[in-house]
Amino acid sequence: MKIAFIGLGNMGGPMARNLVAAGHGVTGYDTAAPMPEGVAQAASAAEAAAGAEVVLTMLPNGAILRSVAAEVIPAMQPGAVFCDCSTVDVESARAVADQAEAAGLGALDAPVSGGIGGAAAGTLTFMVGGSDAAFATVKPLFDIMGQKAVHCGASGAGQAAKICNNMILGVTMIATCEAFALADKLGLDRQKMFDVVSTSSGYSWTMNAYCPAPGVGPTSPADNGYKPGFAAELMLKDLRLSQQAAEAADADTPMGQLAAQLYRQFVEGEDGKGRDFSAMLPRFEARGRG
């Protein structure tokens, strides 16, 4: 398949490499990142998209997505599919899909879960919104870049699923870190805490698979000085998107709102920027009730 890939940074680069390794022809464009080995470099996003059967994008935010889409969609051949893998606001995803469909193209919003490691290993999960036909076209590529692709519904549904999932993730990580900090102050051994909670009703992904306490549970960023697997500032971005969506949908999300406030304080007012989102644990360790 002839593929264009626009946005070849920490996530897009490894995803494009996996497509090349599987035998697909990939033409890429990025304003700053180097071209992965085997990816042909285009002089512009529009040049990359010309003649491609599928155009994949991995971009920082909705405004940049809208800008790239405005450049790329007129250059795409009829019947091709514009598939955005960024995590952006639902409104931008739907606006770009409408623009693509008006131009006779397929459109998918397909944000991912799995981080940089999943991108490199080809084990991402894709949460996909868009038509059945567009999903069927891109599904073989999802199978190369990831281990699972869930067709969540119409345009915007992929972003909605990602935002809701990561709101749960942010809230549960804060609760897990709070509980460890409380256990410390109560004199409870962290390993004993893990042994109980990981097999009891407090079980969660943040406890069992990504434990924020060093030396407890499976290896996680906590065991590597909290170097990011998923950076705190990216969690803040996703929590802000969840609250933007909640406001637009008139949804009451007090826990999501508080989690966004806490991560904002951690990233912008404390030392959270550049650290893993599980570094909330040393933050709570150092704080008292006041």
pTM > 0.95: yes or no? no
- Decide which of 1.10.10.60, 3.40.50.720, 3.20.20.70, 3.40.47.10 is the CATH code for 2-154: 3.40.50.720
Q: Given this model, what pLDDT does residue 176 score?
A: 98
Pairing of strands 40-41, 25-29: parallel
* End-to-end Cα, the chain, rounded Å: 59
Q: Given this model, what pLDDT does residue 290 score?
A: 72
Cα torsion through 28, 9, 243, 174, rounded to 10:
150
Decide if 139 is catalytic: no
Task: Take residue 265 and report the two structure tokens written for it.
Answer: 């304080």
Q: Given this model, what pLDDT does residue 232 score?
A: 97
Task: Take residue 123 and report the two structure tokens written for it.
Answer: 């084990």
Q: Given this model, what pLDDT does residue 164 score?
A: 96
How does DSSP classify residue 223? G
Choose the catalytic residue: 139, 148, 162, 227. 162
Please state, as a whole number, how many other Cβ atoms lie within 10 Å of the Cβ of residue 219. Answer: 11
What are the boundaries of each domain within the chain?
Answer: 2-154, 160-286
Integer Cα distance of 212 and 174 in angstroms:
10
Amino acid in position 187 = G
Reduced to 3 states (helix: H, G, I; strand: E, B; else coil), residue 30 is coil
Q: Given this model, what pLDDT does residue 115 score?
A: 86
Please state, as a whole number, how many other Cβ atoms lie within 10 Å of the Cβ of residue 98. Answer: 12
May I ask the CATH class of domain 160-286? mainly alpha
Q: What is the mean pLDDT of each run of 10 residues along the chain (290 residues)?
A: 96 97 97 95 97 97 97 97 97 97 98 92 97 98 98 97 97 98 98 98 97 97 95 96 96 98 98 97 92
